[in-house]
Amino acid sequence: MKLKVTHILAVIVITSVCSSLLISQDFMYWEDDFESITIPNITTRDAEEEGEGEATLFTSGDVEISADNTATAQLSLGIAILRTEYKLKFDGDGTTKTGGPQVNFTDYDTFLSTPASVTHVPGDDDVKVKLSVKARNYDGQLADAGTYTATQTLTVHWVGP
């Protein structure tokens, strides 16, 4: 009987130690992919159109978000391209709620070349991240009609506790 009690106590101690280790683990993950962003048709040579999508990032510490600055992130239809810009906005400011400052519209090839900072506020382990895209013709040009596509990849990196 004594052996069983020792065995049960050992299991309780191991479970307690493992539980506290699991609870204190850092985490950082996207809840899901961004929803597809649909931009209205550009109906005149000088028009610009915008669309946006949102995803939730869960984090237990401070992070940075960087972006893909390759041609994959530019709206294109074969060899036809549109001027493509991205913007990032958070539902928190990093002071009272996890988040950071807005990143204004920036050309696809320089968007988040300096990563966006997201400051974690203890007790608030998620931040809604809104990605906006703006499209227009390049000055003096008129792109072909059709469905243009791009893929923007956001990557999250740890920067602090």
Per-residue pLDDT of 60-88, as tens digits, reads 999 999 999 999 999 999 999 999 999 99
Residue 99 maps to a domain: yes
Residue 31 maps to a domain: yes
Residue 3 maps to a domain: no
User: If you average pLDDT over each of 10-14, 42-46, 157-161, which comes out highest?
Assistant: 42-46
Residue 5 maps to a domain: no
54 in Cβ contact with 35 (< 8 Å): yes
Query: Backbone phi, then psi, for 64, in 5-degree steps?
Result: -125, 150
Closest by CA position to 117, among listed 65, 60, 54, 57: 65
pLDDT exceeding 70 applies to what percent of the chain?
A: 84
Residue 59 maps to a domain: yes
Q: How many domains does the chain have?
A: 1
Residue 15 maps to a domain: no
Structural domain boundaries enclosing 79:
26-158
Q: What pLDDT does residue 35 have?
A: 86
Strand segments (E) across 91-142: 103-107, 116-118, 126-136
pLDDT exceeds 90 at position 3 = no
**Region 93-101 average pLDDT:** 97
Please give the structure tokens belonging to residue 37.
């962003």
When the pLDDT of each residue in the chain is averaged and rounded to a whole number, the result is 87
pLDDT exceeds 80 at position 110 = yes
DSSP β-bridge partners for residue 101 = none
CATH of the domain at 95: 2.60.40
Residue 14 maps to a domain: no
pLDDT exceeds 50 at position 20 = no
Residue 4 maps to a domain: no
